[in-house]
Structure 1
Amino acid sequence: MVTYSVTVATGTTSYSGTNNYIYITLIGEKGESEKTKLDKWLQNDLERGSVDEYEVKSPRDLGSIRWLRLEKVRFLVEDDWFCRYAMVRTPSGETLHFPCYRWLSEDDVIHMREGPAKRPTDDKSPAFLTHRMKELDERQKLYRWKLWKPGVTKCIDAESEDNLHPDVKFDEYRRSDFEHALHVALGELFLKKFVNLFGSSWDSLKSFQRIFWRVKNNIGNYVMKHWKEDWFFGYQFKNGCNPCIIEKCSKIPENFPVTNDMVCKSLGGSTLEEQIQKGNIYIVDFKVLDGVPANVIKGVQQYVAAPICLLYQDPKNRLLPIAIQLHQIPGAENPIFLPSDPENVWLLAKIWVRSSDFQVHQVVYHLCGTHLLAEVFCICTLRQLPSVHPIFKLLTPHTRYTLEINTRARNDLLGKNGVIIRVVASGGRGMDVIAQKAFEMFSYSALCLPDNLKQRGLEGLKDYYYQEDGLQLWFAINKYVKGIAGLYYKTDQEVCEDSELQAWIQDLLQEGFQELPGFGMPEAFHTREELYKFLTMVIFTCSAQHAALNNGQYDWCCWIPNSPCTMRQPPLTSKDDISVEQLMETLPDMSQSSVQMAFTWHLGRKLPNKILLGCFDEEYFTEEGAKKVIAEFREELKDIEKRIEKRNEGLPLGYEYLKPSNIENSVSI
């Protein structure tokens, strides 16, 4: 009889342990061990966070251990179990590591392979190849595609989070935190009394403080003090919660007839053409909102505009608005507003731009540009890459909780009775139209930060910290990807020959992006560099890009006049002066303001027990080479953190969203 020592680690989150029966069998090239129940006499085995050791007997030496089989058998009541990993110490003293990180529910049986990553070409044994195919077949039955809305990416086929497999659901701590957070936002922030005051306008801008002061926020305080100032209006396009829409203006659009006489005073006596040639003129164009049907909230019509705004980078590197047009087609009732116009008129024109930016940020860049893309990458990874594949091991930490957060969002935030349709001007049908337009204007190159910034001509935009920090992170992630993937793909030919990798990109194109044939993604991977760039884009989108677009929502939106979720009166049609009362009747009412404040706090708050970029509590890679690359990646992220902190020390308002300590590994909120 041969004895093997087996160590089994149970998950650390609530309800990870089990009182059901768990059996283990070692399967080697020379046979199987005895089926052994993991149960020590008079001890509570397999409890939350436990690491238990057992002896497994075999009538003979098993040779190379191929699989470790775990079986769960119900005892009295169903009691799921989460296995982190198992380790086997052979009679010869060799230690084998078997990553798992899976839930066993009902009468589950799973086969775990040893830790080293394997491409399909690395597995010569028919048994291993059959195991890979069987695992993918099971996953493809669990994770099915569904069309959510025409013209956008597909999503997971699940009506609610209850339909998801336990492996991709929130752990108990995350679930409890998420479900109570919005209640806290409305209750603890004392907003409930305002939520029920639908249609009641605030009596002055100062009156917004009645809800604003419920949660103190340093950036929010700064916004409240400076939101009317032109330089701060321009600053937000660089380092606010939507730094993705601004572009260099090389030519004034034909539908935006700004003349030199209109803006020469704002340009310090210089001409518009001179400043365009110097690269100091920038533009934000909300044409994606043109023709979007506005929401009707409780029978009251709301309004959406599609403005164009011209900005000038002055000698102090401030970005100043110099002209605003509220609709795409010029005309007598669509004047170009200027800083020289009456104070309230110019202020309201800027507020219209900020409200349009709210719509575009939430739907185009945040929802479509991170959440929906991350979901597609997640589904493809689960469907086409077995757990032993190196790219599965690389990507799976960046898909954590994405399926559940998106499934919840489709029901609770974006559904027929969701928050968006209750308070946002573009909610309902408008959101669908914007999402379809968003994916029409998206492209693969636009998802790659260096290409995106070059296309928008932003090399000369000063104090653009999103660009500065984002590029550092992009190249750090790219180096990390090259380090990991380079361990397994030594030549371009090896990339071409990886059938599972090629199936992954095909599933992405043919299913996930089925509605978007012109997206421009590669149809296959032909070179290592092509693969590295694509994987960098995936990880960057799921981590840093989402952090840049998500984490500042409350900071910039808690002072409601700065980023109104809706506008209750039509856009201005003349430059005639307006009263404070007219301004207040246009801004969100008490109810809408309160809900905006609550849900932006809920989505942008710092999460408990989040897993930061570069931190992997689930150890999928066991090879020393991969561990070294991961350690180097972490050190580089620490260096980036230090550089950002040093830069921020000298700023009146530091840019914090792309500090690695604020970036979660995945889209999970």
Structure 2
Amino acid sequence: MFGLGGHKSQKIKGSLVIMRKNVLDINSITSAKGIIGTGINIIGAAVDTLTIIASKISIQLISATQSDGTGKGKVGKASNLRAQVSLPTLGAGEDAYDVQFEWDSDFGIPGAFYIKNYMQVEFYLKSLTLEDIPNHGTIHFICNSWVYNSKCYNTDRIFFANHTYVPSETPGPLVKYREDELKYLRGDGSGERKEWDRIYDYDVYNDLGNPDKGEKYARPVLGGSTLPYPRRGRTGRGKTKKDPNSEKTSDFVYIPRDEAFGHLKSSDFLTYGIKSVAQDVLPVLTDAFDGNILSLEFDNFAEVRKLYEGGVTLPTNFLSKIAPLPVIKEIFRTDGEQFLKYPPPKVMQGMLHFIYSICREKSIGWISQVFLFGAVDKSAWMTDEEFARETIAGVNPNVIKILEEFPLRCKLDARAYGDHTCIITKEHLEPNLGGLTVEQAIQNKKLFILDHHDYLIPYLRRINATTTKAYATRTIFFLKSDGTLTPLAIELSKPHPQGEQYGPVSSVYVPASEGVEAYIWLLAKAYVVVNDSCYHQLVSHWLNTHAVVEPFILATNRHLSVVHPIYKLLFPHYRDTMNINSLARKALVNADGIIESTFLWGRYALEMSAVIYKDWVFTDQALPADLVKRGVAVQDPSAPHGVRLVIEDYPYASDGLEIWAAIKSWVEDYVSFYYKSDEALQQDPELQAWWKELVEVGHGDLKDKPWWQKMKTREELVEASTTLIWIASALHAAVNFGQYPYGGYILNRPTLSRRFMPEKGSAEYEALAKNPEKEFLKTITGKKETLIDLSVIEILSRHTSDEFYLGDREGGDYWTSDAGPLEAFKRFGKKLAEIEEKLAQKNRDVTLRNRTGPAKMPYTLLFPSSEEGLTFRGIPNSISI
């Protein structure tokens, strides 16, 4: 007790920072809870809230240096909040309150605190700062957590000071508190989780379908020996009636409460926008198309461009359906006459700005400007150079690989699928190899392939049994002397009508620039891009960033204390990921959801990603390893980052290596500060339990793979942590924030193909010759699917105002009390700023043709910083959208 034992009692001053509850929080959007109706948002209203809050929140300090006799740190008297105060560090929506604690020397130095909430609603606790602690100074507690009514918890809510300890160095009085908190976070694996819970546990992907609604909505469970998959967070919901292995759907989907969006309005607003597309926009568009209010097809390319000029015109009675929805009106710019008016994608903006600059420089009049814009707008995305450039500087730049054998052979079982050897011949390639033979081009590392064949063949017959008509594709590129790539040939393959065992029906197409054959070649490229778009969305984006990171989040929270150095290293790179993943399973990748409705793979989308996950290798996600594995780089100790690029002007790779090296240097400095030897790492029970469970449970379907790090050395920890940070930050940025800039122009990146290639002599071929634009548009993504797809990817490509970017983190300089890591982190931020300037200079180098291309859009996706909005740049710390 304070003040006993003859010790003089003093006062410790503190300030508690609370964030107002977000009225658009996705887990509370429809609720209206008793006192303080919208949570702490009532602060600042014309009522006396101070009295309510002061009496409804209590705090008790816990000593880090003095035991209570049982081995646990002493617990002080409860204190309530006092006056509201003003702090210069307060952010938007935050309020600070004065609090005082009784203290004497017998209590020692505080290292944690209990907090109790007696209000009926939760609040978001940002931080507590204690000032002028005798013989110690200031102590910071970075909390960032929702605190519910105390009756919701079986144990008191505890928060630790910003000191960082490996388990063996934890102050004795805090050891049991540290252990108990981790035990609570792991839970017991039973029961349905409630909104206020903070339990982290694993489950398979059994929540994608709704078999009780009908077979159309049934989906296989992902996770297990048949369809291996990373684990997701467990909710504990009941099972469906028709399938005891599938989880019931619900409007509320549990995630640990601190993983829910709890920041500024913009985060929830964008997320709510995604839900609105699924729940509100989709039905309106369906009614409009089914009722013949809107024409089913685009008639020409000019009509596609109108989406960015006037939007979609709908009758008044249809607009009235969305008028009461303010989120729809603000996100989709509904103005009473137009609906879904889209901003021009970067792939169009770049061309427009380029033309304007030429016109200003040459004093060209507006009539000529219109002519120039029409010409460039039609040609830039059509060019072979832009088609090839986007394989190394587009939204899916990490799939192209070197061609090492010719002819290319298939890895599928020939007994089941027949002979799928590539039928592209030397005669198709050598006329455009600049005098080289195929063998010489391969030897000189001049041939590359974009291969969307083997993984697609087993599903292609089922995909083509619906309204879609697609091909497995192989595309061969040649690296020219000017550093650019050019496509040489495309192979299109579809299933044999007599059965899989007879192999494919394949055709080869080569570049053409005149007549109907030019549009045949354009269609061939479109089939390739459709496959690439699907692979990008379901594998490069969803699987290889969103899904594979979630098990790391679960394992980290279950086994690494918040005061553990590796928890503090990785925590910023988990922000909002479980929340956006949960939303995706509910509205994006669910049965008959937006992705299934607008992308070629349809109902097989996530199932196919599970088949591809079988070959996922964590260690190959490290950028240098990925580049070497794909043959687009070779190991070279003399090169700046240990690898030498085969395609020197490879924007994603060259920029990425700069970011990778900066991340790794920061992680090396950080890890070496806390682990002075490999033995210290091996003797860290939390770290070893974290990695063991991550491998054996989180990614348990691949646990027997030999490539997992054993986590016995500091080098292994550095490599694993760097790889994880790379995936969650830079890799996700590279494959996410270019979605609308490139794909917002559906002609450039279609997501569906609905007709097969027209054959010479057919009516379709003649129609293509007469009206190529209309026939092209009948083949790719339809109008309805285009409107839905664009609505979603525009949201997904935006940065929010409360984003934290690589080199910055929540908590400012107070996330740890250790000076060494703080200085190392500042060096990391400075290095990233230098890299950004270096990348900007590269974009100004006209000899690096792949950095801008015919579309005149400089590659900026790996610039570390960004502002809010649709910027086509910026590396957030985490997969937050």
The verdict on a shared fold, with TM-score over 0.5 as the criterion, is yes
Cα contact 2:20–2:124 (8 A) shared by 1: no
**Among 58, 61, 84, the residue aligned to 1:26:** 61
- Partners of 2:12 and 2:489 in 1: CA distance: 74
Corresponding residue of 1:489: 675
Question: What SS is found at the alignment partner of 1:335?
Answer: strand
Q: Does structure 1 residue 277 correspond to structure 2 residue 443?
A: yes
AA partner of residue 386 (structure 2): F
Q: Which has the larger radius of gyration?
A: 2
TM-score if structure 2 supplies the norm length?
A: 0.71
Quote the Cα distance in structure 2 between the aligned partners of 1:549 and 1:95: 42
Structure 1 stretch 419-428 or stretch 500-509: which is displaced more?
419-428
Cα distance in 1 for residues equivalent to 2:124 and 2:745: 45
Q: What is the match of residue 697 of structure 2?
A: 511
Aligned equivalent of 2:557: 382
Per-residue deviation, 1:367: 0.5
Equivalent-residue separation in structure 2 for 1:332 and 1:468 (angstroms): 38
Q: Which of 337, 355, 376 is the aligned partner of 2:509?
A: 337
| SS in structure 1 of the partner of residue 665 of structure 2 | helix
Higher relative contact order (CA 8 A, sep 6+): 1
1:69 to 114, 118, 128: 114
Counterpart residue type for residue 634 of structure 1: G
The whole-number CA distance in structure 1 between the counterparts of 2:378 and 2:17 is 49
Residue 130 (structure 1) aligned with residue 176 (structure 2): yes
Q: Which residue of 2 aligns with 1:533?
A: 719
Alignment counterpart, residue 459 of structure 2, candidates 280, 292, 308 = 292
Equivalent residue in structure 2 for 1:368, among 529, 543, 547:
543
Q: Please, which moves more after superposition, 317-326 or 128-137?
A: 128-137
Pair 261,293 (structure 1): closer, same or farther in 2 beyond 3 Å: closer
RMSD: 3.0
What CA deviation, in whole Å up to 9, does each residue of 1:159-178 have, x standing for no partner?
A: 66652233111025121332
Q: Give the alignment of 1:182-197 within 5 angstroms.
A: none
Partner Cα distance (2:805, 2:649) in 1: 26
Alignment of structure 1 residues 520-599 onto 2, 5 Å: 520-522=706-708, 524-571=710-757, 577=765, 579=768, 580=772, 581-599=774-792
Contact 1:161 1:404 in 2 (8 A): no
Equivalent position of 1:605 in the other structure: 798
CA distance in 1, matches of 2:599, 2:665: 40
Would you say 1:447 and 2:616 are equivalent positions?
no
Q: Of residues 267, 270, 273 in structure 2, which corresponds to 1:180?
A: 273
CA, structure 1 residues 115+539, in 2 after alignment: closer, same or farther (shift >3 Å)?
same
Which residue pairs with 1:355 in the alignment? 530
Match of 2:307 in 1: 211
Shift of 1:586: 1.3
Shift in CA distance, 182/607, structure 1 to aligned 2, threshold 3 Å = farther
2:426 matches 1:260? yes
Q: Which residue of 2 aligns with 1:400?
A: 575
Partner residue, 2:313: none
CA distance in structure 2 between the aligned counterparts of 1:475 and 1:657, rounded to whole angstroms: 17
Verify: 1:663 aligned to 2:710, yes or no: no
CA contact (8 A) 1:194 1:594 kept: no
Of 154, 157, 166 in structure 2, the residue corresponding to residue 110 of structure 1 is: 157
- Structure-2 separation of matches of 1:44 and 1:261: 76
Aligned residues: 663
Secondary structure of the 1:409 match is helix
**CA distance 1:391–1:463, shift in 2 (3 Å):** same
Q: Deviations over 1:101-139 (max 9, x none)?
A: 2221111522333322111111362x4332222111111
Match of 2:94, SS? Answer: coil
Distance 1:545 1:13, change over 3 A: farther
Instruction: After superposing the two structures, state which structure 1 stretch, 110-119 or 459-468, moved more.
Output: 110-119
| Matching residue within 2, 5, 13 for 1:6 | 13
Aligned mates of 1:597, 1:3 — CA distance in 2: 62
Superposition deviation, residue 332 in structure 1: 8.6
Q: CA deviation at 1:637?
A: 0.6
Instruction: Specify the alignment match of 1:230 in structure 2.
Output: 384
Match of 2:117, SS state, is: strand
The answer to whether the 8 Å contact 2:460/2:495 transfers is no
TM-score by length of 1: 0.92
CA distance in 1, matches of 2:631, 2:778: 38
> Within 1, Cα distance between the matches of 2:715 and 2:85?
53
Distance 1:592 1:307 in 2: 23
Report if aligned partners of 1:506, 1:523 keep a CA contact under 8 Å in 2.
no
Equivalent-residue separation in structure 1 for 2:607 and 2:829 (angstroms) = 41
Contact 2:85 2:98 in 1 (8 A): no
CA distance in 2, matches of 1:606, 1:99: 24
Partner of 2:829: 634
Does structure 2 retain, via aligned residues, the 8 Å contact 1:333–1:574?
Answer: no
Q: Which stretch of structure 1 is more off in the superposition, 496-505 or 1-10?
A: 1-10
Q: Which among 331, 346, 350 is matched to residue 521 of structure 2?
A: 346
Amino acid at match of 2:186: Q
Shift of 1:65: 2.8
1:462-520: CA deviation from partner (whole Å, max 9, x where unpaired): 32110011111111001111111211101010111111111111111111112224554
Q: Which amino acid aligns with 2:79?
A: K
Q: CA deviation at 1:200?
A: 1.7
Match of 1:140 among 186, 196, 202: 186
Deviates more, 1:156-165 or 1:373-382: 156-165
Q: Deviations over 1:69-128 (max 9, x none)?
A: 222223xx3242423233253234532223322221111522333322111111362x43
Unmatched 5+ stretches in structure 1: none
Q: 8 Å contact 1:317–1:462 — kept in the other structure?
A: yes
